[in-house]
Structure formats: C-alpha cells, structure tokens
C-alpha cells in the first residue's frame, strides 16, 4: 500500500479522514479501509505532523486499529 496522497494541507487530510471514518461504520469494504489506512499514514508522514503533537498517540492507535480492520477484511474476502 502506498503512503502518499496529493493533499498538501494536514487539515484537509484530517477532514478527509474524519469523513471517511464516519462513512465507514461497521461494514466497510476493503477499498475504503485501504483509503483510511493510506490517509492515516499520510497525516503521520506530513511535514506538519509535529505541529499536532497532542494527537500523536491517537494517530498511532488509529493506525494500528485501521490496519487491523483492513487485514481482517482481507482475510474474510
């Protein structure tokens, strides 16, 4: 899975991530789960990630959770 998105603004990435997670619910398809993982990685790799220092732990937990969801979806399909 690639970890680059064409969005330069970290706020836009966070908004996109928030909307994707809201869409996801409990029954997400693999494509949406992959996009969520991609966006979490993009936020964490963004040059401004250090500016949102109070959210670092949350993003690391989020990354583990969404990668787990993706792996579970991949195994079941």
Task: Tell me whether residue 6 is in a domain.
Answer: no
The answer to whether position 15 is within a domain reads: no
Q: How many CB atoms lie within 10 A of CB 70?
A: 20
Question: Is residue 43 included in any domain, yes or no?
Answer: yes
What CA–CA distance (Å, rounded) separates 59 from 44? 7
Per-residue pLDDT, 67: 94
Domain span at 70 = 28-76
Please, which residues have CB within 8 angstroms of residue 11's CB and are 6 or more apart in sequence?
none
pLDDT of res. 73: 85
The predicted structure's pLDDT at residue 9: 85
How many domains does the chain contain in total? 1
What is the DSSP code (8-state) at residue 65? H
Contact 23, 32 (CB under 8 A): yes
List per-residue pLDDT tens for the chain, 77 residues long. Answer: 444 555 678 899 999 999 888 888 766 788 899 999 999 999 999 999 988 878 889 999 999 999 999 998 877 65
Look at residue 1 and tell me if it is in a domain. Answer: no
In a domain, 21, yes or no: no
- Is 32 among the domain residues? yes
Whether residue 19 lies inside any domain: the answer is: no
């Amino acid at each position: 899975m690639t970890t680059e998105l064409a969005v330069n603004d970290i706020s836009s990435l966070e908004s996109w991530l928030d909307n994707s997670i809201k869409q996801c619910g409990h029954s997400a398809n693999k494509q949406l789960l992959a996009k969520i993982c991609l966006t979490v990685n993009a936020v964490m790799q963004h040059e401004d990630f250090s500016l949102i220092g109070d959210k670092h732990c949350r993003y690391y937990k989020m990354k583990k959770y969404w990668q787990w969801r993706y792996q579970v979806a991949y195994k079941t399909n």
